[in-house]
Structure 1
């Protein structure tokens, strides 16, 4: 047993009375002890200056908050942030010189501050092959602007950096950074109802210029002088630089576990990490879910007569700030993932990982992303307020898995899909509750399953409420989903409860005993690959709730949390 405290000393023994100061020192000590070792973190913020990494040499080690599982549990925060001090106030704006620090997110007394923004290009603007032209002179003063393109496709949101703005007579010519803008022009091409579009189009918002700093509680990173960046913050009423704690995330990876067996994290808080790539010339050319494009070619999907979109032949996944790679028997229990600039937890490969009783909130991307693993269990987790910067990110996403179980989770307040399962083997999505999904982008659902699932896949006992945007399907099987039983689910207050006719078509799919407040599209003429039987439509919400009381009681968290 070893102890770590922010007030400790690495020259100590790591005992309760003389704890270590750093996780690295505790890791070294644990490696010298055979068998399972428990490292207990005392309350406070454990600041990391580099990612904390565990390997096969750390197999059997448990890292847990002191008092985990009892009323005496202390809040131990593993943080990759840097406190910002040295503020000077001028004209009501706080200013801090931060050197070459890149800041995409900022937390003020724990609250996520928004980047200052305006709603699109000023003046009469149009797109060009290399950027934009406008009759407004305002962009001539921009140096750090990032263009946001929401809804290029209904399910996409791109972010692209501006390179320069120059005057051309009474026009302003905006040149966008490459290769990101070129990739966006290559990827985003569609035809719909006789209309063809090419490229990302006009931005829906522009962020991060000092002139945008008009709303209290927002910030800007002024990068006009390379290596001499200035952080600007317009405070909320009552905030005082002498009393207010401001933290900028610095590390992109907090924890990486690779190749270890039977490691565990219990009761810890993982906080204050970032992801800087979207602000670089490559930008963030989003396509779907947690995937984005960085070249390699595109293909065309025909959606129907006279309708098509281009899509990437290959895509890259948004990284996670806490990563488990090729582990066996790992456990993450009772932890919180918060104030993170990418996805919260990423799992790739490996076998037998369990994520239970964790909270995921205030994340730029998704909560949990799992790919290529076997026997993963995601149970009793709460995911909310995710996708705050990358709006296509699902709350929970699994793809390429074998025997993955997603059970009794609660997902809400997310900008796109709640739970996503891509092609895999035997994925089971059981007794989850999704509420307030699809808040920003369209064409998704509270639960979305795409691609072949082998045999034994289930979507059972889930309650899907309030799927918000127009053009969604609360319970959505898509793109050739096959080998799935969809049974005893409840869907209400969606644009469409479900859809049976998709392309490629569904195969070997059974819809049985589900309850809806409106008939799914195609229910009266199911395709040949779909069995549709014993499903019930009850339009009166009180009657629907009464009829599904048992299903609703079993869905969602196993242990309610405040």
Structure 2
């Protein structure tokens, strides 16, 4: 599991990659060699260069803006044959403002443009201002006295941001207007947190519950901590957590504190419940662990609990208040770069035929890479310490049923959704927005995703292929969620095969344990087969829609905390009688034609399914003809007798035998269940070394004697490939 891979140079032609596969790997951002890349015109950039220079190896340009402008000048009389490559020499490229690449800069298929690290040199493009370690000073006695933790009083240092001319004002909202946590300090590549209580410790309970006499907007402080804060700190204290339910995050602000009654009042953006959980942040008194900090907005002083080696590491304060790179272009490649410290996204790509490869993407508040368009390739990158979704994508409408050409392959994604902690996946594709209905066609392969509080993969794209991905240790704060999550009819035609999902556990659970693969809200047309799912609190596979085929999966200790149901089926796609209860999800406003949750509303909505009814749709999804041919809601129908189309749950191997498959009366009648086997002995699987993490099924395993046609997961090829160097 801890085998280290060495990443070498790669060809731009991904099909030429010959690779071995490992489940877990180290990573270094490497570029192609300058000698190996077939290029037309070459420009060079160096932090020690000059933007008035010629842009040659001996006289490089200095900035990315200088390189952009030089490329514009080169193309003024026409595109050069073979494209343009901008080589970045080793060093740090400081971007206090966004690098803007506009339509004027857009490339073409015959003249692509590449920004690449030169010969594998270490290149960092950062929106973070480097703090000079010699300018950290001892904290004054007045501030020391406020710190609750006495040990911290000798560790917390001060830095004058105002004297550096930095904009340190608190950023209360994100670009779309929502409340946000203002997290802008990074040290040695790690995220700093504004003084919080409790600390971010997954080994402990890192939250507070509302406590006694909860009224909806006030409660008795169960911790006693607020009494130790100054009035100014109370006025600036903020709250974040799950005030209502596990799949909805909440932002709040302390609005008052009565020391006589120990009662806190607060304002929240969401509904609150007495068992809601949260943490306080932006409180100077609570700086008590390495990496915590506080900014005094009145003086511009930064107070930072620095690590002992702070003089020897990079400490950066993010100042680029939008994306570090905003590229509204076609046919661009970014290769071998470290891109970091965006106050919102690190990269925003809007266009077609763009590639990000061999890069380190880290330390940002929102998405690591956000793309809009077709033909996007995200290959062989590492993304970590991401505030929101690591890779977020939006593809064009599906009216012509044309594959988007999106490829997300061989990436290492971890420690994401650190700020926006729900519905921000490691890879989240198929965002629905005006003009975008989820998209058609994408391939997600050989990625490793771990350390996320909620989803690893989420999508609303049709005809998506997910295979050879290794997903583990996610959903650790999630309820009614899955390591892999989809829902509704927008994501039909999906294939999920030869993946491993492991160790999906939530110690903070309040509402429904997290699942392995979760097909929610009547999601139909999925094929889920030949996967291995191990050690999941909730059910291993959950299905609720039409024409789903669940087969040849191995499930081990799935459903541990969820009635021991390794596979879960329900009947939410039926029309129901109002008032039938949760077993049917059946009020007149739920899952019927009058609601966007309804079967017909999803299928026939012109904005969500613009291709419905056209010839291409009929050929690709003929099973939709099995559905009821009227959109009249018949309250007398208990269910539509053919609503499940051709759903099957067959030939799945489950251990231990005390686990089960959950069904409803409707799903038992209409889903085809056959040849699912429950093992009494672990050895019957015939794994090579399950205790050591090798779930390869031997050719002579007992499982094949029971079911000769069983097709186990191709475990040897799961996970990231070791990329071969070009010859």
Deviation at 1:398, TM superposition (A): 1.0
Confirm or deny: 8 A CA contact 2:246 2:477 kept in the other structure.
Answer: no
TM-score scaled to structure 2, two decimals?
A: 0.62
Q: Is 1:488 equivalent to 2:557 in the alignment? A: no
Following superposition, the deviation at residue 49 of structure 1 comes to: 2.0
Matching of residue 209 in structure 1 with residue 288 in structure 2: no
CA apart distance, 1:124: 6.9
Asked if 1:396 is matched to 2:427, the reply is: yes
Q: Does 1:508 align with 2:575?
A: no
CA 1:94/1:551 → structure 2, altered by over 3 Å: closer, same or farther? same
Q: Is the 8 A contact 2:374 2:395 kept in 1?
A: no
| Counterpart contact for 1:64–1:266, Cα < 8 Å | yes
Q: Residue in 1 aligned with 2:366?
A: 342
* Residues 3-12 or 492-501, more deviating: 492-501
Sort the Cα spacing of 1:215 and 1:509 in 2 relative to 1 into closer, same or farther, 3 A: same
Pair 1:476–1:203, CA change in 2 (3 A)? closer
Name the SS for the 1:559 alignment partner: strand
Is 2:378 the partner of 1:355? yes
Give the conservation status (yes or no) of the 8 Å contact 1:126–1:202.
Answer: no
Q: Which runs of 5+ in 2 are unaligned?
A: 1-41, 140-152, 171-181, 199-206, 397-403, 431-437, 560-564, 572-642, 657-681, 688-694, 699-711
Query: Structure 1: where are the runs of 5+ without partners?
Result: 68-72, 189-196, 276-319
CA contact (8 A) 1:482 1:506 kept: yes
- 1:368–1:396 CA contact under 8 A, matched in 2: yes
Q: Whole-Å Cα distance in 2 between the matches of residues 459 and 122 of structure 1?
A: 38
User: 2:500 aligns to what?
Assistant: 463
SS of 2:720's equivalent in the other structure is coil
Name the structure 2 match of 1:535.
652
1:381 equivalent in structure 2: 411
Aligned partner of 2:236 among 134, 141, 144: 144
CA contact 2:407–2:444 (8 Å) conserved in 1: yes
Aligned equivalent of 2:204 = none
**Is 1:408 the counterpart of 2:446 in the alignment?**
yes
Contact 1:365-1:391 at 8 Å conserved across structures: yes
Indicate how the Cα distance of structure 1 residues 491 and 123 shifts in structure 2: closer, same or farther if over 3 A, else same: closer
Q: Distance in 2 between matches of 1:167 and 1:524?
A: 48
After TM superposition, give the deviation of residue 456 of structure 1 in Å.
Answer: 2.9
1:447 Cα deviation (Å)?
1.7
2:44 is matched with 3
Change (3 A) 1:175 1:485: closer
184, 188, 202: which one pairs with 2:270?
184
Q: CA RMSD in A?
A: 2.8
Partner of 2:390: 367
Q: Larger C-alpha radius of gyration, 1 or 2?
A: 2
Kindly report which structure 2 residues correspond to 1:19-34, keeping only aligned pairs within 5 A, or say none: 19-33=60-74, 34=79
1:375 offset after TM fit, Å? Answer: 2.4
Report the secondary structure of 1:480's partner residue: coil
User: Partners in 1 of 2:477 and 2:483 — Cα distance?
Assistant: 13
Aligned partner (choices 231, 238, 250) of residue 319 of structure 2: 250
Q: Does 1:555 align with 2:713?
A: no
Change (3 A) 1:147 1:496: closer
Match in the other structure for 1:322: 347
Distance 1:98-1:445 versus aligned 2 partners, 3 A rule: same
Structure 1 residue 88 corresponds to structure 2 residue 180:
no
TM-score (norm 1): 0.79
Q: Summarize the Cα distance change of 1:385–1:124 in structure 2 as closer, same or farther, 3 Å threshold.
A: closer
**Equivalent residue for 2:248, pick from 145, 156, 176:** 156
Corresponding residue of 2:480 = 443
1:229 alignment counterpart: 300
Distance in 2 (alpha carbons) for counterparts of 1:550 and 1:511: 13
Q: Residue 489 of structure 2: SS of its match in structure 1?
A: strand
Aligned mate of 2:94, from 39, 47, 58: 47
1:559 is displaced (CA, Å) by 2.1
1:47 Cα deviation (Å)?
Answer: 0.3
Cα distance change on mapping 1:165 and 1:453 into 2, 3 Å:
closer
Q: 1:499 Cα deviation (Å)?
A: 4.3
Higher strand share: 1
1:525 CA displacement:
7.2
Q: CA deviation at 1:24?
A: 0.5
> In structure 2, the residue corresponding to 1:13 is in which secondary structure?
coil
Q: Does 1:432 align with 2:432?
A: no
Give the number of aligned pairs. 482
SS in 2 for 1:211: helix
Question: Which of 332, 337, 361 is 2:356 aligned to?
Answer: 332
SS in 2 for 1:426: strand
How far is the alpha carbon of 1:497 from its aligned partner?
4.1
CA–CA distance in 2 between the matches of 1:394 and 1:64? 28
**Which residue, 411, 421, 426 being the options, matches 2:459?**
421
Question: Would the alpha carbon gap of residues 141 and 122 (structure 1) be closer, same or farther in structure 2, given more than 3 Å must change?
Answer: farther
Q: Secondary structure at the match of 2:392?
A: strand
Paired position in structure 1 for 2:665: none
The answer to whether the 8 Å contact 2:504/2:535 transfers is yes
- Counterpart-to-counterpart distance in 1, 2:448 and 2:237: 36
Are residues 108 and 366 of structure 1, via their aligned partners in 2, closer, same or farther at CA, if it must alter by over 3 Å?
A: same
Is the CA contact (8 Å cut-off) linking 2:245 and 2:276 kept in structure 1? Answer: no
Between 114-123 and 382-391, the greater mean CA deviation after superposition: 114-123
The match for 1:116 is 195
